Amino acid sequence: MYLKEGKIKDRKYLDTARDKCCLVCGSRHGVVMHHLRCSSYAGTGTKAGDDEVIPLCSRYFKKDGCHDKIHNNEKQFLNHYKWIFGEDPIAFAKLLYKRYLTNRT
């Protein structure tokens, strides 16, 4: 298997999920980073880059967590919460990553 050119891997950024709240419901329990499937790097058997993730709560800490809901139908989920993610959820996720890079010490 190979990594597509430009795909970012940043384990430290993914680990910041525990310090974030769910973008949809605001929960601070069991937050995980969801790799967006609508990414140009995502496909069958591959994940998007770590700069294309959004923090969502997991079902392990909340019944029907937002992370589980997005896995049911990502496109429908993102359309429903367009007021949060905007027209381009990938651009939104990349903005979050850019803020992380700017603010880390």
Q: What per-residue confidence (pLDDT) applies to 58?
A: 87
Phi, psi of 42 (to 5 degrees): -85, 150
HSE-up of residue 82 (Cα within 13 Å, Cβ side) = 6
Against a cut of 0.75, is the pTM above it?
yes
Token pair, residue 36, equals 């967006």
Any idea how long the chain is? Answer: 105
In tens digits, what is the pLDDT along the chain, a chain of 105 residues? 344 567 889 999 999 888 899 999 998 888 999 999 876 555 556 778 899 999 999 876 666 889 988 888 889 999 999 999 999 999 999 999 999 999 876
- Residues 46 and 19: their CA atoms lie apart, in Å, by 26
